[in-house]
Amino acid sequence: MASIATVEVVRYGFSDNPVYDRLVHQLGYLAGAWREEKTDELAEQYQTVLRTLIILGFDEPLDVDVELPDDLMPVEYTSLFTE
């Protein structure tokens, strides 16, 4: 059985991994919540979920409306896409 880290991300970036899907959905919720309230607590929750995703092997760029401003995105994420 494939591990989570090796589960293939299907065509067009839509995951076939329900764990990824749930966590990305959670990021969308938290990004929206942060836009509404802009609290450190929400930013920290967001960063924790994103770091967890990365530990699980997720390495896709997120949609822009699921991201926080750059200074709040964890370096574990931004460093995945530096040239």
Q: Which chain residues interact with other proteins by CB under 8 A?
A: 11-14, 24-25, 28-33, 35-36, 38, 61-70, 78, 80-81, 83
- CB closer to other proteins out of 40 and 65: 65
**Least CB distance to other proteins at residue 83 (A):** 5
Radius of gyration of the chain (CA): 13
- CB closer to other proteins out of 1 and 49: 49
- Identify any residues that bridge with 9 across adjacent strands, giving them in sequence order: 15
Please state, in angstroms and rounded to a whole number, the distance separating the CA atoms of residues 2 and 67: 28
**Which tokens sit at 1?**
């059985």
Which backbone phi and psi does 25 adopt, to 5 degrees?
-60, -40
**Least CB distance to other proteins at residue 43 (A):** 12
**Least CB distance to other proteins at residue 76 (A):** 13
What is the DSSP code (8-state) at residue 13? G
- CB closer to other proteins out of 48 and 61: 61
